[in-house]
């Protein structure tokens, strides 16, 4: 990929979602991202159950385009040496390991800055490196729960729900990218790198800003509102004859569009505060009106009145939506093992900088030779020794596990 980050090299010690998503954003912006995977199966997300292409799961393919893959066992002397050699010629070390993992591997910022003072290390973890929860394992679901996100997601009176997309992981990756870009900018003045830290929990709390502000100022604990809004009504998803549509701010124009002009002068709905106090009654009236026609009939009329609206697309319809297609948000590329795959595109559009020529996610260790022989200039003997150490270490680990569980 050509882009504004061309010439920036990223070493990604990552797996699953938060790390791979963030490093993919960097790759989409032109960075040379080298994904470091354990020998053998590589990133365990490659084996996620479900649809796959040539053995790599839908989950892995979704977050790993435009990257190179090298297999290194950082638990061996040769593997760690190769990693350190890459650190010397890289700009960013990116990881989404559990807090403390990079220190145990000797891949933490304090160690790596001695090798390359300009290195920027970004860690995306569940709870961060300090605090009472720092040693706990965490997943997207846990961050959504503790932050309060799940408490305001779902229908009133229903059970708490997680957001459909893994929003804690995704936001963690995004905030990590924000931090890395800021560190790169500051490095142009100081010449020095720094440590960037993002936690999934912190990211979710950040997203709860207006819900928490509502509580701070009013003392009332917000709850789930379905597709409605805490401070706007009518707003949300409404059922029509043939499916759902969503509608945003548009009062009182929407009342005229729906043929319910009589409610405009109703004292219950006379002003913004009154409408919020009588949300359920107003929503019921609006809902009854929407049921009289199909979504495809309502949407053009709402658009003419400049009322924000849209259909509630299922995934199969979303990927064919003309606006989504026009914005190149569904892309297709050749896979190195054959066949073509479709992926979600890059939402950042910079036509003067980015040429959207996407490369399929790599196979495990696809770029081993390119990186070891060409980039690092290793000899065949050195690479052979590296691989022999990996095999020996793998056998030792297997024997240890068999002894432990056998």
Q: Which two tokens stand for residue 380?
A: 């065949």
Q: Which two tokens stand for residue 169?
A: 């992981």
Query: Which residues have C-beta within 8 Å of that of residue 165, sequence separation ≥ 6?
Result: none
Mean pLDDT of 294-319: 96
pLDDT at 326 over 90: yes
Burial label, 243 (beta-carbon count in 10 A; 0-12, 13-18, 19+): middle
Residue 406: which pLDDT band, with cuts at 50, 70 and 90? low
Residues of the chain with CATH 3.30.1540.10: 236-314
Mean pLDDT of 298-317: 96
pLDDT at 368 over 80: yes
Mean pLDDT of 114-118: 98
Asked whether the beta carbons of 14 and 94 are under 8 A apart, the reply is: yes
For the domain spanning 9-207+320-402, the CATH number is 3.40.50.10540
Superfamily for domain range 236-314: formyl-coa transferase, domain 3 (3.30.1540.10)
Asked whether the beta carbons of 275 and 282 are under 8 A apart, the reply is: yes
Q: Please report the pLDDT score of residue 355 as a whole number.
A: 84
Q: What is the pLDDT of residues 226-249, one digit of tens each?
A: 999 999 999 999 999 999 999 998
pLDDT at 329 over 80: yes
d(CA 295, CA 297): 5
Q: What is the pLDDT of residues 65-96, one digit of tens each?
A: 999 999 999 999 999 999 999 999 999 999 99
Distance from first CA to last CA of the chain, Å, rounded?
A: 48
d(CA 98, CA 391): 25
- High-pLDDT (> 90) share of the chain, %: 91
What is the crossing angle of helices 167-190 and 140-147, to 10°? 90
Query: Average per-residue pLDDT in the chain?
Result: 94
Phi, psi of 338 (to 5 degrees): 105, 155
Q: Please report the pLDDT score of residue 2 as a whole number.
A: 85
Indicate the range of 48-62, 161-175, 312-326, 384-398 predicted with least confidence: 384-398
Mean pLDDT of 259-278: 94
Mean pLDDT of 28-44: 95
Residues serving a catalytic function are: 169
Residues of the chain with CATH 3.40.50.10540: 9-207+320-402
């Amino acid at each position: 990929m050509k882009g504004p980050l061309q010439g920036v090299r990223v070493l990604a010690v990552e797996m699953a979602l938060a790390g791979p998503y963030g490093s993919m954003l960097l790759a989409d912006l032109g960075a040379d991202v080298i994904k470091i995977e354990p020998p053998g199966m590589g990133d365990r997300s490659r084996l996620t159950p479900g649809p796959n292409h040539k053995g790599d799961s839908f989950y892995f393919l979704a977050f790993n385009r435009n990257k190179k893959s090298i297999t290194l066992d950082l638990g061996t002397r040769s593997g760690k040496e190769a990693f350190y050699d890459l650190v010397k010629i890289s700009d960013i070390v990116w990881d989404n390991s559990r807090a403390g993992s990079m220190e145990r591997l000797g891949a933490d910022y304090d160690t790596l800055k001695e090798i390359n003072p300009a290195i920027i290390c970004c860690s995306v973890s569940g709870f961060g490196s300090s605090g009472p929860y720092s040693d706990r394992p965490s997943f997207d679901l846990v961050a959504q729960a503790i932050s309060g996100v799940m408490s305001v997601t779902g229908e009133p009176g229903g059970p708490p729900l997680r957001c459909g997309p893994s929003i804690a992981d995704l936001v963690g990756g995004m905030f990590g990218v924000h931090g890395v870009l800021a560190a790169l900018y500051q490095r142009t003045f100081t010449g020095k790198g720094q440590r960037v830290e993002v936690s999934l929990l912190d990211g979710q709390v950040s997203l709860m800003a207006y819900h928490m502000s509502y509580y701070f100022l009013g003392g009332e604990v917000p709850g789930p509102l379905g597709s409605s809004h805490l401070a706007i009504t009518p707003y949300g998803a409404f059922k029509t004859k043939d499916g759902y549509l969503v509608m945003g701010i548009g009062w009182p124009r929407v009342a005229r569009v729906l043929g319910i002009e009589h409610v405009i002068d109703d004292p219950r709905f006379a002003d913004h505060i009154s409408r919020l106090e009588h949300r359920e009654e107003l929503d019921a009236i609006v809902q009854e009106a929407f049921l009289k026609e199909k979504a495809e009939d309502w949407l053009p009329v709402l658009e003419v009145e400049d009322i924000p609206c849209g259909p509630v697309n299922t995934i199969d319809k979303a990927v064919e939506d003309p606006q989504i297609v026009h914005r190149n948000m569904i892309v297709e590329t050749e896979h190195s093992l054959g066949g073509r795959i479709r992926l979600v595109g890059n939402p950042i559009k910079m036509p003067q900088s980015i040429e959207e020529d996407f490369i399929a996610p790599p196979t495990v260790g696809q770029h081993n030779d390119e990186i070891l022989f060409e980039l690092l200039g290793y000899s065949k003997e050195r690479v052979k020794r590296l691989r022999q150490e990996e095999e020996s270490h793998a056998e030792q680990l297997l024997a240890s596990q068999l002894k432990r569980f056998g």
